[in-house]
Structure 1
Amino acid sequence: MTLLGIETSGKTASAALYEDGIMLGQYSVYTSKTHSQVILPIAKKLLSDCDREISQLTGIAVSSGPGSYTGIRIGVAAVKAMAFALDIPCFGISSLEGLAYNLSCDGYICPVMTARKNLVYTSLFRGNKGVLERCRNDEIISVSELDSILSGLNGKVIITGDGAENFISEFSNKNYSLSPVQLRFQSGSGICLAALNHTPQSPDEIEASYLQLVKAEKDLINSGRS
């Protein structure tokens, strides 16, 4: 398998290339630019530097959310188009699961992504010899609720994601530890590794997962109330 992983759900635009048990390469850029300006040039350069052609891809994986509405739409649309044009399968991967696969360590892993106000996107995984078991579905909850959930676990918990540092600063618990900064943010490699444990999908089956209403939906609901 020659698998391209695309990650655009946060500030980091990232592309990784995985082939037959080897991560051939990865480019990641923490940027304020629109991902539409960055992600395809990164992917093209990655393929070129790894001496691979786009026609050699046998699958493409993408972060399908939660995260940035615009970033998710850009990544999902790009992967749908490429998979359809190449007639290859694709994988829609939770951005939270991708964050957990950045670590792939034993024990509990809790990805925490900033949502709004005191809310975070989060889930919970437990690692065992490089394979992650999902313990909780992706959800958007308050940081205090998350602390209640994690403090009830029996064992150490590694907190990762862009909201991890703030969460650990606010809630002191000897069982909480912060993931290394180089593994803390979304990456194409995490998306690739997660995809290896998922069933391939057709482009039509990939859907964005926002976990909360987008602005247009909120405006529509509010207009119906007036």
Structure 2
Amino acid sequence: MTILAIDTSNNPLGVALLDDNQVLGEFITNIKKNHSVRVMPAIQTLMQDCEKAPADLTKIVVAKGPGSYTGVRIGVTIAKTLAWTLNIPLVGISSLEILAAGAGRYFNGFVSPIVDARRGQVYTGLYRYQNGMLTTVEQDQLVMIDDWVAKLTDLNAPILFVGNDLSIHHAKIIEVLGPQAIIASQTEHNPRPSELALLGKDKPGEDIHSFVPNYIRLAEAEQKWLEGKGKILNG
């Protein structure tokens, strides 16, 4: 089984190849550049270096959001196209779950991945490893950071925070949670595409045609368009 994992859901771009339980290779960058022109060359280079052809692939696993509207759409579109063309299964994994999986594997407590959603809001969820398996404690959601950290004070356990946007909300997290909040090390803030591959390894394929990203909310432009359309229809 050779799995190709693709993550363009936020600033980091990541692709990986997993052969059974061995990570053959992965490529990660964390720079603000257009994923649409970089992801296919990254996939091609990785596959060439690992001496794999498209026909060798048996599954595509993609980060399905939440995150950047454009970034999520790019990754999902490429993943769907490859899976359909190669006639192989497609699996989508939460972008937040990927962060939690990498940072929290050896952490005895809860894990809260953080992706900034502007205006004091974050995409987040709550995860925990139990018996070696990553479990979801709180589903992925869009929430005000003030409300989120206030809610977490009820937990009687340390909470590991991870994500490249933590610097935006670090002060508020520490102010409310104090020593209960643990900040992941710098090397853990980038989502690992190899973790994405492992998370999707044993999951069944989804219907390619009905597969859609999990934006959690509409893109701002789309929301404004719908609001404007409603005003016109109601006016």
TM-score, normalised to structure 1, is: 0.94
**Superposed, which structure 2 residues align to 1:90-129 within 5 Å?**
90-103=90-103, 104-106=105-107, 107-129=109-131
Is 2:65 the partner of 1:59?
no
Are the equivalent residues in 1 in contact too, given 2:3–2:201 (CA < 8 A)? no
- Indicate how the Cα distance of structure 1 residues 71 and 46 shifts in structure 2: closer, same or farther if over 3 A, else same: same
Answer with 68-77 or 31-40: which moved more. Answer: 31-40
Q: Distance in 2 between matches of 1:205 and 1:196?
A: 20
> How far does the alpha carbon of each residue in 1:100-156 deviate from its partner, in whole angstroms, 9 at most, with x for none?
112223421110100011000000101135410100111000111110122211111
**Superposed, which structure 2 residues align to 1:161-180 within 5 Å?**
161-172=163-174, 173-180=178-185
TM-score, normalised to structure 2, is: 0.91
> How far does the alpha carbon of each residue in 1:56-85 deviate from its partner, in whole angstroms, 9 at most, with x for none?
011011111111111111110000000000
1:221 to 221, 224, 227: 227
Q: CA RMSD in A?
A: 1.5
Is 2:79 the partner of 1:79?
yes
Are the equivalent residues in 2 in contact too, given 1:102–1:189 (CA < 8 A)? no
Q: Distance in 2 between matches of 1:180 and 1:40?
A: 30
Equivalent position amino acid for 2:226 in 1:
L
Larger radius of gyration: 2
Equivalent position amino acid for 2:154 in 1:
G
Gaps of 5+ in 2: none
SS in structure 1 at match of 2:203:
coil
> How far does the alpha carbon of each residue in 1:184-206 deviate from its partner, in whole angstroms, 9 at most, with x for none?
12231221122135332132242
Equivalent position amino acid for 2:34 in 1:
T
> How far does the alpha carbon of each residue in 1:75-97 deviate from its partner, in whole angstroms, 9 at most, with x for none?
10000000000000011111011
2:23 maps to 23
SS in structure 2 at match of 1:65:
coil
Identity %, equivalent residues: 31
Equivalent position amino acid for 2:193 in 1:
G
Are the equivalent residues in 1 in contact too, given 2:91–2:206 (CA < 8 A)? yes
2:154 maps to 152
Answer with 169-178 or 38-47: which moved more. Answer: 169-178
Are the equivalent residues in 1 in contact too, given 2:111–2:128 (CA < 8 A)? yes
Q: Distance in 2 between matches of 1:168 and 1:150?
A: 15
**Superposed, which structure 2 residues align to 1:35-54 within 5 Å?**
35-54=35-54
**Superposed, which structure 2 residues align to 1:129-144 within 5 Å?**
129-144=131-146
Count of aligned pairs: 226
Q: Distance in 2 between matches of 1:171 and 1:160?
A: 12
2:196 maps to 191
